[in-house]
Structure 1
């Protein structure tokens, strides 16, 4: 006889959320146990609640599998980008970009330049991961050579990468959000410009100001000069080293599929390592899996350039799979639904509805571990409120990106947070205060919601009566 299922009670939801946070703190902060094991442990806490409310293990396993399946594209991109990073370092692509960057970029405007360069790269390619793994790594090398704090450089890089992840018509999250919100893709992008354009300008000014202040404190370019000497010694630096980067960006800009294009770029990196860096053929091929390995004698160059390869991403992939499993379990037994239903009963105007969408997206990242989960929770769970308040779906899609996509790198165990930390070599909580573009997008979206600016309605209504009606309902 099948047990009757029910939605979890509020006390059970609170138990799961508190347990999740306590386990994360004890495992990661208190005992230094890998975060992967912390996430795996939370599976059993959630399953215990699931059994109590009527689900059997087979049903919950289906939830785990669905959660992982929904995020598999991110896993494949991680594998591809890992291979790309390894071969582009070994092939001299990244070292050449760093070298020329040190030659032509003025240190005082570097942070703003890094922000803009990564933004342009992500707009052209539609991928924050690919942008961080290529232009981002180069900017980290240039920034450290100029003496900037790595957390600040990482903030500029990630902020720039998420400009395109949020706005590019080539971005999978942009396309997915428009589709789930039932909004035309171009209309979705136009709607986001009302938030992203001012956020971009203000963030650019902040990074420019930070560049002047930080440069005044460091001022010594001897490390930059030493970096250029070391790169020239260990790599063949030339303009044609950058050809793989130009080809990959061009193909992605032409809307070619991202995973095969990135893997093609990784293969070009191996060929360049063999042809132009005097690397044995087998070593060049092996860099796809094992990444690059040099001993330059300069500690930070070795730390920056001894990375990449599929192997480099294995720990990240395991973490994301476990995080996706957590999200799938919570979705299956109704915990995410209960969280959002509780918030929706409170949301009776545009401002509160915007806030609930933001929180739903953040919860999707925090408990689901992936941008894909956050976009689903933000759009599908809160869309009913937009219909009830007659708010245009373009506002829903815009708020979904603001609450879901841009908050992804803020969560240490989400796919974006883990990838950025591993790729750039700076922990999530260290770079978090410098994600100025991301924070500005959230803040501006909330300001628009609570001031009713750039909030479009599907018909002319009296907002005072609308709010009273929503309260009574």
Structure 2
């Protein structure tokens, strides 16, 4: 006889959310235990609640597998980017970018320049990971040579990378958000510009002003040492930049990102063999094992001894555990229950905006970028229809709560990758994600001031009941005692 299933009650939902928070903070901050084990432990917390409300182990295992499956594209992108990072370092692409950057960029405007360079790269390629793993690593080395604090440089780099991840028509998250929100892609981008453009201008100004206070007092000795070290270990020339130009060009012509990135990694292998003195087998192996040099300059070795598929395996394991959490949450109905409570609370554009941002952030807590876009758009979408708010506002807020908050969560795909690729912890660079934070602030301001909130004509028929809300009401009316999980 099959047990009747129901949505989690408020007490059970809070038990899962608070338990998740306590496990993560206790494991990481108090006992310094791996985030991987913290997420794995959370699986069992969710399974306990799932059993209580009527799910069996096999059903929850399928939910877990579905969650992991939703993020497989991100896993493949990470593997490809890992190979790209390694070969572009060994092939002289990244070292040449660093060298020319040190030669031509004024330290006073460096932070703004790093922000702009990563913005242009990410818009042209549509990938924040690829932009951070190539141009971003170069900017980190240049910033260190100029004497800037690395968390501050990472903030400028990641801010720029997420401009393109949010706005580029080549970005998978941009396309996915428009599709799930049922909005035309170009209309979606135009809607985002109302928030992103002022956020970008303010962030650029902040990075410019800040650059005058953190420019290493004009001491360029570290930059000179870095340039000398690079020329000693790498052949530096303009044609080292050809692989980067080819990859950006292919992505600009809307070629699929994964094969293009892998092709770029293979070009890096050829360049290492032709111009950097490596044997073909040595160059080819870098795609898996990553780059390795001993330049004698500590921060150069730290930034350039990275890449390869191996470099991403720990990141991928963490993302799989996080995706499993999201899959279990979805399976037992925690996310639907949260959506029901948010729908009841969000009765005006301001609250509706906040609810979408919260739903997206929860998706990043329990999965990653792809999960966050799904939770933000699906959990709160029908509430926009109820209030006759145009779905362009939904898609814009979904990007704000989903895409933009991804690098803010230490165990999300974006947070893990950025920390690993740039060598700076998530909590260190978080205060300097000025573009991302401004997008959140401006979105909320627009919601509560009714600015750039567009409305549709009143629907002739009632909008469809939000998924889970009717069941949530039925659960509250007929539920049985919930024991130790109830309030």
Contact 1:16 1:46 in 2 (8 A): yes
Superposition deviation, residue 460 in structure 1: 7.7
Q: Give runs of aligned pairs for residues 68-107 of structure 1, distance below 5 A.
A: 68-107=68-107
4+ runs of 1 displaced by more than 2 Å?
Answer: none
For the residues of structure 2 that align with 1:223 and 1:39, how far apart are their CA atoms?
A: 41
Aligned equivalents of 1:42, 1:379: Cα separation in 2: 25
Alignment of 1:108-119 (within 5 A): 108-119=108-119
Shift of 1:13: 1.1
In 2, Cα distance between equivalents of 1:350 and 1:188:
18
Secondary structure of the residue aligned to 1:224 is: helix
Shift of 1:312: 0.3
Match of 1:400 among 398, 401, 409: 398
- CA distance in 2: counterparts of 1:400 and 1:152, whole angstroms: 27
TM-score, L = length of structure 2: 0.93
The SS at the match of 1:51 is helix
Aligned equivalent of 1:213: 213
Q: Which residue pairs with 1:276 in the alignment? A: 275
CA distance in 1: counterparts of 2:135 and 2:25, whole angstroms: 33
Match of 2:295 in 1: 296
Q: Secondary structure at the match of 1:405?
A: coil
1:263-311 per-residue CA deviation (whole Å, 9 max, x = no partner) reads 0000011111111000122111110001100111111111110000000
From 358, 379, 385, the equivalent of 2:377 is: 379
Partner of 1:320, secondary structure, is helix
In the alignment, the residues of structure 1 paired with residue 401 and residue 224 of structure 2 have an alpha-carbon distance, to the nearest angstrom, of: 42
Deviations 1:94-125 (A, max 9, x none): 00000000000000000000000000000000
TM-score by length of 1: 0.96
Post-superposition shift, 1:447? Answer: 0.4
Q: Does 1:410 align with 2:415?
A: no
In the TM superposition, residue 219 of structure 1 has moved relative to its aligned partner by: 2.1
- Partners of 1:82 and 1:6 lie apart in 2 by 43
Q: What is the aligned partner in structure 1 of residue 448 from structure 2?
A: 450
State the Cα deviation string for residues 387-407 of structure 1 (Å, max 9, x = none): 000000100101100111100
Q: Are the aligned partners of 2:342 and 2:380 in contact in 1 as well (CA < 8 Å)?
A: no
1:367 aligned partner: 366
Residue matched to 1:50:
50
Distance 1:218 1:350 in 2: 47
SS of 1:357's partner is helix
- What corresponds to 1:464 in structure 2? none
For residue 341 of structure 1, report the CA deviation from its aligned partner. 1.2
Partner SS state of residue 452, structure 2: coil
Tell me what 1:163 maps to. 163
Q: How far off its partner does 1:30 sit?
A: 1.4
Q: Which residue of 1 aligns with 2:472?
A: none
| Partner Cα separation in structure 2 for residue 185 and residue 409 of structure 1 | 24
For structure 1, which segment, 279-288 or 257-266, has the greater mean C-alpha deviation from structure 2 after superposition? 279-288
Count of matched residue positions in the alignment of Structure 1 and Structure 2: 460
Tell me if structure 2 keeps the 8 A contact 1:148–1:218: no
Q: Distance in 2 between matches of 1:282 and 1:446?
A: 53
CA distance in 1, matches of 2:447, 2:183: 19
1:384 & 1:205 partners in 2: Cα distance? 38
Matches within 5 A, 1:25-424: 25-215=25-215, 217-368=216-367, 370-424=368-422
Aligned equivalents of 2:371 and 2:259: distance in 1? 24
Q: How big is the alpha-carbon RMSD for the aligned residues of Structure 1 and Structure 2?
A: 1.1
- Structure 1 residue 7 corresponds to structure 2 residue 4: no
Cα distance in 1 for residues equivalent to 2:148 and 2:458: 52
CA contact (8 A) 1:375 1:401 kept: yes
Of 343-352 and 309-318, the range deviating more from structure 2: 343-352
Q: How far, CA to CA, are the matches of 2:193 and 2:128 in structure 1? A: 18
Structure 1: runs of 5 or more not aligned: 462-473
In structure 2, what is the equivalent of residue 465 of structure 1?
Answer: none
- 1-structure distance, mates of 2:285, 2:11: 52
Partner in structure 1 of residue 457 of structure 2: 459
Distance in 2 of aligned mates of 1:170 and 1:379: 20
Gapped runs of 5+ residues in structure 2?
460-487
C-alpha distance in 2 between matches for 1:381 and 1:17: 17
Q: In structure 1, how many angstroms separate the alpha carbons of the residues matched to 2:399 and 2:414?
A: 14
The alpha carbon displacement at 1:340 in A equals 2.0
Residue 343 of structure 1: CA displacement? 1.5
CA distance in 2, matches of 1:218, 1:282: 45
